[in-house]
Amino acid sequence: MLTFARWKYFAILAVLILSVIYALPNAYPQDPSVQVSAAKAGTTAIDASLAKRIEGILAEAKIPAKSVLVEEQGNLLVRLADTEQQTRAADTLRPRLGGDYVVALSLAPTAPKWLESLAAKPMPRGLDLQGGVHFVMQVDQNAALDKRLDAYVEDIRSTLRDAGVPYTSVVRRGNEALVATLGQNADKAKAQERLRTAFPNLIINLDGQTVALEVPQAELSRIALEAVEQNLNTLRNRINAFGVAEPVIQRQGTDRIVIQLPGLQDTVEAKRQIGATATLEFRAVTGDERAAEAALKDRSIPPDSRIYYTQDKVPLLLSKRLLVSGDQLVNAQPLTDSQTGEQGVDINLNSVGGQRMLEHTLENVGKRLGIVYVEQIPTTSIVDGKEVQSVRTEERVINSATIRGVFGKSFRTTGLSAEESKSLANQLKSGALAAPMVFVEERVVGPSLGAENVKRGTTAVLYSFVFALSFFLIYYRVFGLITCLALVLNLLMVVALMSLMGATMSLPGFAGLALSVGMSVDANVLINERIREELRAGVPPQAAIATGYDKASGTIFDSNMTALLAGVALWAFGTGPLQGFAMTMIIGILTSVFTAVTVSRGIATLIYGGRRKLKSIAI
């Protein structure tokens, strides 16, 4: 007969309450806001006086702020009326507050505190719904290989030198082999032994006077993959310093990186910051200005040296041997010398770099040390009438002072303009890129377009609901009402679950929602039609309802399980928008089975179960 366990009602009630709570934050609009935090923890206070200062700056620029409040997490939040003022406020605050603060665009929740304390948060919105910048960057893996192989050449030389094995040359052969030619009376066994311990990853073959070191394929692909990973980390650091709330930085495929910066509109500035690569190299000065001039004139540049130029195009001879490279930098801090007023960067090296610097300065007091600023600039040039993307490397000596004393891990360099030292410090701090990257895609979604997409999406879901609900009410009457209640709860559950999981809502997500309405419809129709069928066969009403639910449940289970399989496949093998769509579809299918089978049966029992003499039901 038509019965329904009491505990199930409580379970449904609990689900309903939880769904409402966790879906609720989505109903509150978010305030476009500007978040100010300390650039380095503990150095600068985020307090009421800063809030006063910010209020003053904004008032001066005639930007009305909704509120300027210090939050508990040590951030300061400036809420603004719209995204246009948000951008203006950020642009005004950034230069005025200086490098001690990070000014970021963000969306502040307006939901009441008690919801937040229950960990109820609105779904994060995809770029297509809130506006922002989308980049795809391609990592030049060949360049990474080049760089690594060149480093191997240098390391092989120093290994042989340290071992006291004479050698005539170490060269690269192709893209995967290195060849060291040993001197006439070199200890070959010793060389091989030392190289083997120093480079366990390489395949080492001794052949006469030459040692061939081959880089295995696995090692090559590891280098290529590591390059992408390192770039990913570097980008993450840079973007964090950049000040965007909830950026997306992901690897796509084998050699691409996707970057999404919600709320940002200025691609030029973002590209400059993201794409810039600058590093410092430390090399011994092997010939001063005059020697370099002379060497250039009679083309007699020593084999171990290279000509570098300073800012003023003055040549200088620097050793080819790289003493310390940008990879060995740990930290860099811009500073102004209090005595001379000169701009510079305070540099900290890691232990390997520090050790080398120490050894070098120990032996070379009184000699000069060259600091080379290396910047890589992505450019487009024309070769044979075709455009070719390439990376131009700009090198210049920024400092070539005499070593006055021994130093190791930390020291300072000068010779840059104020702006350069700040940007250099920033880029050094955020690490070096393992390989150059090019922008292969950029999209800007305006905030108004995002808002329009939200409106369109909600309108579409709303109408799909209205269409379905009005049909059910007319066609099935009371059972139509039951179905409608089940559908509404279904939508609530999907939204609540997605918010709880932190699934990003995007435009295809709305399509998934609409489709889950369609799926949910199916289960309900199956039940209602089955009940009608039983009634037609002459079964008494209450038995008809019970049989209808029982018989339909098996069908619903089978049909939804298969549809679920399709959803899972779409999610597992899709990317980006496909996954968002698949996620809503999967959740929608699961909740629709629950609401159609359990919830609607509960309501039907509530309405019809208690009557002793039920003559007819409205279906």
Partner 1 sequence: MKIFPLTLLPNDANIDFMRLRWVSIAVAAIIMFVAIGAMGTRGFNYALDFTGGNLIEAQLDKALSLDAVRDKLAADGYDSAQVQTYGSGNQLLIRLQPREGESGDAATAHAAEAVTRAVVSNGGTAKIVRNEFVGPQVGKELALKGLYALVFVVVGFLIYIAFRFEWKFAVAAIITTLHDVIVVAGWFAVSGHEFDLTVLAGILSVMGYSINDTIVVFDRVRENFRTMRADPETVLNKSINQTLSRTIITSFVAFLTVLALYLYGGGSLRGMAESQMLGIIIGTLSSIFVACPLLTLGLLKVTKQDLMPKAKDEAALARRP
Residues in region 290-329 near partner 1 by CB under 8 A: none
CB of residue 236 to partner 1, shortest distance in Å: 21
- DSSP letter (8 states) at residue 175: T
Can you give the three-state secondary structure of 469-524, one letter per residue?
HHHHHHHHHHHHHHHHHHHHHHHHHHHHHHHHHCCCECHHHHHHHHHHHHHHHHHH
Among 25, 132, 508, 548, binds partner 1 (CB under 8 A): 508
Stretch binding partner 1 (CB under 8 A), from 111-119, 217-225, 351-359, 458-466: 458-466
- Residue keyed to tokens 């769509």: 581
For partner 1, the closer CB: 493 or 619: 619
Report if residue 574 touches partner 1, rule: CB under 8 A: yes
The whole-angstrom separation of Cα 80 and Cα 312 is 47
Which residue number, 36 or 227, has a Cβ lying nearer to partner 1?
227
Among 102, 160, 182, 582, interactor with partner 1 by CB under 8 A: 582
Tell the smallest beta-carbon distance from residue 368 to partner 1 (Å).
40
Q: Among 430, 560, 591, 595, which residue sits at the site for partner 1 (rule: CB under 8 A)?
A: 560
Check residue 273 for interaction with partner 1 (CB under 8 A): no
Using CB under 8 A as the binding rule, whether residue 467 contacts partner 1 is answered as yes
Q: Is 491 in the site for partner 1 (CB under 8 A)?
A: no
Alpha-carbon gap, residue 516 to 584, rounded angstroms: 8
Count of CB atoms within 10 A of residue 378's CB? Answer: 18
Strand partners, 444: 133
CB of 143 to partner 1, least distance (A): 16
Q: At its nearest, how many Å lie between partner 1 and the CB of residue 22?
A: 24
Stretch that binds partner 1, among 27-35, 398-406, 410-418, 472-480 (CB under 8 A): 472-480
**Minimum CB distance to partner 1, residue 280 (Å):** 27
> Contact region for partner 1 (CB under 8 A) — 4-12, 145-153, 408-416, 511-519?
511-519
Within 120-149, which residues bind partner 1 (CB under 8 A)? 128, 136, 138
Distance of alpha carbon 259 from alpha carbon 244, whole angstroms: 11
Q: By C-beta, is 308 or 479 nearer to partner 1?
A: 479
Question: Nearest approach, Cβ of 216 to partner 1 (angstroms)?
Answer: 24
Tokens of 291: 């020697």
Report the site for partner 1 in 41-100 (rule: CB under 8 A).
none
Query: How many angstroms separate the most distant Cα atoms in the chain?
Result: 116
Query: Which of 554, 610, 612, 613 is in the footprint of partner 1 by CB under 8 A?
Result: 554
Sheet holding 76-80, edge to edge: 65-70, 76-80, 31-38, 101-108
Q: Which of 116, 162, 266, 558 binds partner 1 (CB under 8 A)?
A: 558
User: Over the range 322-342, which residues count as b (16 or more CB within 10 Å of their CB) and which as e?
Assistant: bbbbbebbbebbbbeeeeeee
Least separation in angstroms between residue 136's CB and partner 1 is: 5
Among 96, 157, 222, 532, binds partner 1 (CB under 8 A): 532
Of 541, 545, 598, 608, the one binding partner 1 (CB under 8 A) is 541
Give the start-end residues of each E strand in 264-385: 277-287, 305-309, 315-319, 329-336, 343-349, 369-383
Other beta carbons within 10 angstroms of residue 271's beta carbon come to 16
**Nearest Cα to 259, choosing from 243, 277, 274, 279?**
274
Asked whether position 210 contacts partner 1 by CB under 8 A, the answer is no
Q: How far is the CB of 133 from partner 1 (least distance, A)?
A: 10
Binding part of the chain for partner 1, among 56-64, 341-349, 390-398, 519-527 by CB under 8 A, reads: 519-527
Find the binder of partner 1 among 161, 477, 606, 611 (CB under 8 A).
Answer: 477
Cβ closer to partner 1: 177 or 563?
563
Looking at 252-307, list the stretches that DSSP marks H as alpha helix, in order from N- to C-terminal side.
267-275, 289-297
Q: How far is the CB of 533 from partner 1 (least distance, A)?
A: 7
Let me know: does 166 contact 186? Beta carbons within 8 Å.
yes
CA–CA dist 92, 60 (Å, integer): 10
> CA–CA separation, 259 vs 274, rounded Å?
10
Question: C-beta of 271: minimal distance to partner 1 in Å?
Answer: 9
Spatial CA neighbour of 122 closest among 446, 495, 532: 495
In the bound complex, what is the minimum distance in angstroms from residue 570's beta carbon to partner 1? 5
Distance of alpha carbon 85 from alpha carbon 263, whole angstroms:
12
Tell me the three-class secondary structure of 390-429, residue by residue. EEEEEEEEEECCECCCCCCCEEEEECCCHHHHHHHHHHHH
Residues between 376 and 415 with contacts to partner 1, criterion CB under 8 A: 380, 386-389
**Which range, of 61-69, 367-375, 419-427, 440-448, touches partner 1 by CB under 8 A?**
440-448
Give the DSSP per-residue string, 35-83. EEEESSTTTS--SHHHHHHHHHHHHHTT--EEEEEE-TTS-EEEEESSH
Nearest distance, CB of residue 178 and partner 1, angstroms: 31
Burial class, 13, CB count within 10 angstroms (exposed 0-12 / middle 13-18 / buried 19+): exposed
When asked if residue 501 is in the footprint of partner 1 (CB under 8 A), the reply is no
Tell me if 618 contacts partner 1 by CB under 8 A: yes
